[in-house]
Structure 1
Amino acid sequence: MTKYVITILAFLAALAGLLLWVGDDIMLSISSSATSGFFAFAPIELSWQFAIIASVFGVLGLIGLWSAFLWLWRLPRRVRSGVGLRRRNRALDAMEEALLAGAEGDVKKSRKKAEIARNLIGSTELGRVISALSAEAAGDSDVAVEHYQAMLESDKTRATGQRGLAQNMLATGDLPGAIEQSREAYTNNPEARWAFDTLFKAEVANFQWEDAAETLETGEGRKHVEKLIARRRRAVLTTAQADLLHDEGQFGEALELAVKANALAPEFAPATALAVKLYKLQGDPKAASKLIEKSWAHSAHPALSLAFLDLLEGADNKTRDKRLAALVKQAPDHRETKILLAEDHLRRDDAVQAWAVLRPLLREEDTPSSRLCVLAAQSEERLNNPTDARLWLQRAATAPREADWSDLDPSGESFDYTPQDWRRMVFSFGDTGELIHPRFDSRAPLRLPGVADLGEEPDAVAEIVAAKPAMQPDDPGVPPAKGNDLADRLDSLLDKPKR
C-alpha cells in the first residue's frame, strides 16, 4: 500500500512542478481552417496550465470508465465464483466431518456426511474416494468395497480402487482376488510399494512359494525390500519349495533347492538340515558333513548337531573324533559347540569330562535351561549320584525352554514344518533373522531327551519330575549344603567337586 501512495504523491509533485514551470502567461491557441460546417469555429485560446490539467483529468476519466466497464463485465463470473467458493467450503467441511466420523466409528454419520460431500463436490471420482475412506475408517468394509469396485470404472481412480480391494481381500482371506488386483497394479505402476507388499503377502499366505520368490526378486530390483531381508526371505521360500518336492518324492530337485537355500542363508538351519537329510538319502555323508560345518561356522544350531551325530553313527572312534574336531573348529567358543562336546562325552560314558564342560555353562546362566538341567542330570547319574540327578530333573521341569532347541525328540524330524509354519518363517526369520521352532512357538508339551538313559521308562518321566527324592524310613537322606530348599541344594551341586 505504501508504494502506491508514494507513487501518487510523486506524480502530483511532478505535475505541480510542470505547471509552475509552464506558468499562466503562455497561451495555447486552437483554430480551424474550415469556413463553414461543424468544424468551423472561432479560435480558442487556453492557458497551457489549463490544457495540462484537462488532459490529466481526461486520461483519469477514461481509465475510470474502462475500469467500470470491466467490473460490470466480470460481475456475473464473480457472483458465480463466490457461490462456488461457498459450495467448495461446505464440501470440505462435509469431507472433514465424514472422515472424522469414520475414525470415531460413527457409521451413520459417516455415511450421511460422505453423501453430502459427494453431492457438493461435483466430482464422481473424488466423491467415491471420500465415501470409501470414510466407510473403511468406520469399519463398514462392505460399503467400502462397493466404492472401490466402482473406482475401477475410471482410469483416474482405478489404482486407488485396486489398492482398497486388494487390501480388503487380503484381510478377509480372498487371496486369489488380492493377488489379481495387486499384481495388475504392480505391473502398471512399478513404484507402487503397497502393491508389492500386498502381492507378496497374499502369495505367501496362499503357499505359492515359487510365485512369491519371483515377486520378491522384482521387489528387490525396484528397491521395495532391503537386500538382507530379501535374501533371508528367499532362503525360506526356497527351503519351503524344496520341502514340498521332498514330500512328493522328487529328491534330486529338492536337494538342489535346499543347497541353494543354504548358500543364500547358511545361518538358516532348516535349509541345512533338509539338505543333509537329502544327501543321506543319496548316500553322500561327506557332502552332508561339509555342509553342516559351513553352517555351524555361521550359526551353530542344536538341530545341526543332531544331524551331525546321525552322520557319525557306525563310524569308528578315529573317524568320529576327526569329524567332531573339524566341526568344533568352526565355532570353538559357541555355546552349542560346548553342549555338543558334553553330549559326546556322555555317549562315551565319560561323565567327568561331560561335567567339566557343563559346569561353566551352568555357572554362566542365572537360570539354566531345561536342556542343560537334563544334561546335568545325566552326568550326575553316570557319576553315581542318583539323588542329585533327581534334583536336576526336578529343576528341568520348571526351567525355561530354549527357543532354538528345535527338536526335543532326537528321534523325530528336526524341522517338521507345515505349510503354515513355512509361511510364518518367511516373515519371522526373513525380517528379523530369528529362528524359533514351531514346537516351542506353539507351547507344545515338553519332552525330555535322554531320560531313558537314566534307567527310567518314558511313561514314568512325569512322575520322576514331579516327585521329591524318595527316602527309606531308615535313610536320613542327604543333608543340604546351604539350605533346605531345592535352589540351595542345586547351587551346592555346582560347588561340590566331581569324582
Structure 2
Amino acid sequence: MLWSLIKLLVFVAVVAGLTIGGAYLMEQGGGAVIAMGGYEFTLSPLQLAIALLVLVVLAWLVLKLLGVLGAVIRFLNGDNNALSNHFSRRRERKGLDALTDAAVALASGDGRNALSRATTAGRYLDRPELTQLLVAQAAEMAGDTVRAEETYKVLVRHQRTRFAGIRGLLRQKLAAGDDLTALRLAEKAFEINPRHPETQDILLRLQAESHDWAGARKTLGAQLKSGALPRDVHKRRDAVLALSQAADVIDDNKSIEAREAAIEANRMSPDLIPAAVMAARSYIAAGNARYAARVLRKAWDVQPHPDLAAAFAEIVPDETPQERVKRFQALTSIRTEHPENRMLVAELLIAASDFTTARRALGDLPEKQPTGRNLTLMAAIARGMGEDEAVVRGWLTRALAAPRGPQWVCDNCGRIHSQWVPICANCHAFDTLSWKTPPAEATLPGGIELLPLLVRDEPKPADVPAVVTTEEAGSSRPATTASS
C-alpha cells in the first residue's frame, strides 16, 4: 500500500515537473535554426527539447537494431545460436538485475518487494533452484505461508535444492507447532546432511521431547563426530539421555533394564545428581549398599543436594535417629562448610533431639545466607530448646519472607522447576537445568510442612498453619524426609 502511494506521488511529481518545464520553455524567446539541403527549420525552445528527446530515443533504437543486425549476420555466417544468444543475454541481464534487487530487499526485510522481484527474476532466468529459493524465503518474510510452503515443496523435488526445501518446511511446521511432522522432516534433513549443526540441534530437541532417547543418543553422537560438541559436553548430555531412558524404563516396570540404564548414566557423568540418585537406588534394590553409598558420596563431593541425602537415608531405612547421625558422617564429612551439608547435619541432629549441637552445626548460616529452610530449622531448634513461643514464631515469620535457596533453574530462560527434567518446560531447551539460587524471590521453602516432625512437642494449631497453607505444590524436600 505504501509503495503504491510512493509510486503514485513520484508519477504526479514527474508530470508536474514536465508541465512546468514545458510552460517555462514556451515563455522563453529565441530558438534554434537548422539549415539542411537548402531548407531551414526554426525551432522554439520547447520544440528543440522535444527534438533532442526524440533524437535520443532514435539513437537507442538504432543501437538495438545494430545489435540484432549483427546477430543476424553471425547467424547467416553459420553461427546457429547467434540470435538465441543475443536475446537470452538480454533476458539474463534483466533476470540478474531482478535477482539482485530481490536479494537486497530480502536482506533489508522488505518481504513484499523481494517477492515481487524474485518472481520477476524467475520469469527471465532459467534457474529455478535459485529463483524459487528466493521466492520461498520472500513469501515467508511477507507472511504468505501458503505460497512459501508450495515453493518449498517444489524445491524438495530437485536434488540440488532438496535439503533447503526440507529445512524450509521444517521451519514452517515448527512455527505452526506441528512437532510430529517437524520430527519426520528433521530426520529426512539429517539423512541428507548429518553434519548440519542447526538440523542436529532441532532433531535432538524433537527426539527428546518425543522420548526417543535412543534416536537422540545417535544424533548426539553425530554432533560429536562433526565437531559441533566438545567431548565433555557430549559425555554429560549422553548421560542425561541415558538417565531419561532409564526413567522411562522404570515407568514401564522393567526393573533390570532400568537398573542398568541408571548405572550407565551415572558412570558417564558421576556429577549428574539425578543419575547418581537413580543409580544408588538401583544398587539398593539389588542389595548392594556399599556401591550405593560410594555413588552418593562421589556426587556429594561435587554438589551436595537434598536428593542425595534422601537416597543415602534409604540405604538403611529402619535405623534410629542416633544411628543415622553416626552413619551419615561418611557423607557429611566430605563438604563440611557447604550450606547444604550444614543444614543436613542440623536436620539429623534435630531428629535425634540434639538441639544444641544442631544449632552449632548451622552456625552463622541463618544470618549470612538466610533461606526458608534454615530459618525453619532455627524455629525447630528454638522450640526444642524450650524457647518462648514468640521466638519460634519470629523464626517462622522470617522464614515466610526468606528466599527458597537453590532450586532447579533453567540456564536458558530462568524458569524454576520443582524437580529435575531433561527438557525445560518453558523454553524446551535440552540439558539446561542447574541446581542454583534463582533471582531473589519471597516464596516458601520445600519441607516446611515437616516442621511438626522436627520437634518433640505437638505445635499449637496457630503456630504453623499459615506456613503450611501457602506452601507451593511439588516443592523439593529436605533430607529429613527420609529420616523422619
State the TM-score, normalized to the length of structure 2: 0.68
**Conserved? CA contact 1:393–1:465, under 8 Å:** no
Structure 1 partner of 2:424: 424
Q: Deviations over 1:408-430 (max 9, x none)?
A: xxxxxx9866xxx4332899896
One-letter code aligned to 1:85: R
Q: Are 1:126 and 2:130 an aligned pair?
A: yes
Q: Deviations over 1:162-203 (max 9, x none)?
A: 221223323333334333333233233343222212211211
One-letter code aligned to 1:244: D
Distance 1:85 1:142, change over 3 A: closer
Distance 1:464 1:216, change over 3 A: closer
One-letter code aligned to 1:382: G
**Could you tell me how far apart the structure 2 residues matched to 1:315 and 1:447 are?**
21
**Could you tell me how far apart the structure 2 residues matched to 1:302 and 1:81 are?**
75
Structure 2 partner of 1:452: 452
Q: Deviations over 1:392-451 (max 9, x none)?
A: 111111111123389xxxxxxx9866xxx433289989655614799x99x899651432
**Could you tell me how far apart the structure 2 residues matched to 1:109 and 1:83 are?**
20
Structure 2 partner of 1:382: 384
Indicate which of 74, 89, 104 corresponds to 2:97: 89
**Could you tell me how far apart the structure 2 residues matched to 1:169 and 1:405 are?**
31
One-letter code aligned to 2:397: Q
Q: Deviations over 1:70-117 (max 9, x none)?
A: 9x86997678646643442233224433554xx35x6x5554333223
Distance 1:121 1:398, change over 3 A: farther
Structure 1 partner of 2:375: 373
**Could you tell me how far apart the structure 2 residues matched to 1:426 and 1:466 are?**
27
Distance 1:90 1:465, change over 3 A: closer
**Conserved? CA contact 2:423–2:432, under 8 Å:** no
Structure 1 partner of 2:279: 275
Distance 1:458 1:308, change over 3 A: farther
**Could you tell me how far apart the structure 2 residues matched to 1:155 and 1:357 are?**
70
Q: Are 1:256 and 2:260 an aligned pair?
A: yes
**Could you tell me how far apart the structure 1 residues matched to 2:276 and 2:394 are?**
36
**Conserved? CA contact 1:233–1:427, under 8 Å:** no
**Conserved? CA contact 2:103–2:134, under 8 Å:** yes
Q: Deviations over 1:263-309 (max 9, x none)?
A: 22222211122223333333333332222112111211111112223
One-letter code aligned to 2:399: A
Deviation of 1:158 after TM superposition, in Å, equals 0.7
* SS of residue paired to 2:361: helix
**Could you tell me how far apart the structure 1 residues matched to 2:358 and 2:428 are?**
35
* SS of residue paired to 1:434: strand
**Conserved? CA contact 1:390–1:464, under 8 Å:** no
* SS of residue paired to 1:93: helix
**Could you tell me how far apart the structure 1 residues matched to 2:407 and 2:107 are?**
46
Distance 1:375 1:111, change over 3 A: same
**Conserved? CA contact 1:236–1:426, under 8 Å:** no
**Conserved? CA contact 1:99–1:137, under 8 Å:** no
Structure 1 partner of 2:3: none
Distance 1:87 1:405, change over 3 A: closer
Structure 2 partner of 1:399: 402
Structure 2 partner of 1:168: 172
One-letter code aligned to 2:396: L
Q: Deviations over 1:190-229 (max 9, x none)?
A: 4322221221121112121121112112221221222232
State the TM-score, normalized to the length of structure 1: 0.67
Matches within 5 A, 1:73-472: 81=89, 84-97=92-105, 100=108, 103-104=109-110, 108-315=112-319, 320-365=324-369, 368-385=370-387, 386-404=389-407, 421-424=421-424, 432=432, 434-435=434-435, 448-453=448-453, 454=455, 455-456=458-459, 461-463=464-466
**Could you tell me how far apart the structure 1 residues matched to 2:435 and 2:340 are?**
15
**Conserved? CA contact 2:224–2:231, under 8 Å:** yes
Deviates more, 1:131-140 or 1:343-352: 131-140
CA RMSD, aligned part only?
3.7
* SS of residue paired to 1:402: coil
**Could you tell me how far apart the structure 2 residues matched to 1:151 and 1:97 are?**
21
**Conserved? CA contact 1:125–1:151, under 8 Å:** yes
**Conserved? CA contact 1:258–1:271, under 8 Å:** yes
**Conserved? CA contact 2:170–2:186, under 8 Å:** yes
Deviation of 1:362 after TM superposition, in Å, equals 2.0
Larger radius of gyration between Structure 1 and Structure 2: 1
One-letter code aligned to 2:148: A
Deviates more, 1:126-135 or 1:88-97: 88-97
Percent identity between the aligned chains? 26
Q: Deviations over 1:322-365 (max 9, x none)?
A: 53222123323322211111111111111111111213212332
Distance 1:416 1:466, change over 3 A: closer
Distance 1:399 1:341, change over 3 A: same
**Conserved? CA contact 1:374–1:450, under 8 Å:** no
**Could you tell me how far apart the structure 2 residues matched to 1:140 and 1:384 are?**
74
One-letter code aligned to 2:393: R
Deviation of 1:160 after TM superposition, in Å, equals 0.7
Deviation of 1:374 after TM superposition, in Å, equals 0.7
* SS of residue paired to 2:333: helix
Deviates more, 1:342-351 or 1:191-200: 191-200
**Could you tell me how far apart the structure 2 residues matched to 1:216 and 1:325 are?**
40
Deviation of 1:161 after TM superposition, in Å, equals 0.8
Distance 1:157 1:257, change over 3 A: same
One-letter code aligned to 1:403: P
Where structure 2 has 5 or more consecutive residues not aligned to the other structure, the ranges are 1-69, 410-416, 471-484
Distance 1:444 1:389, change over 3 A: closer
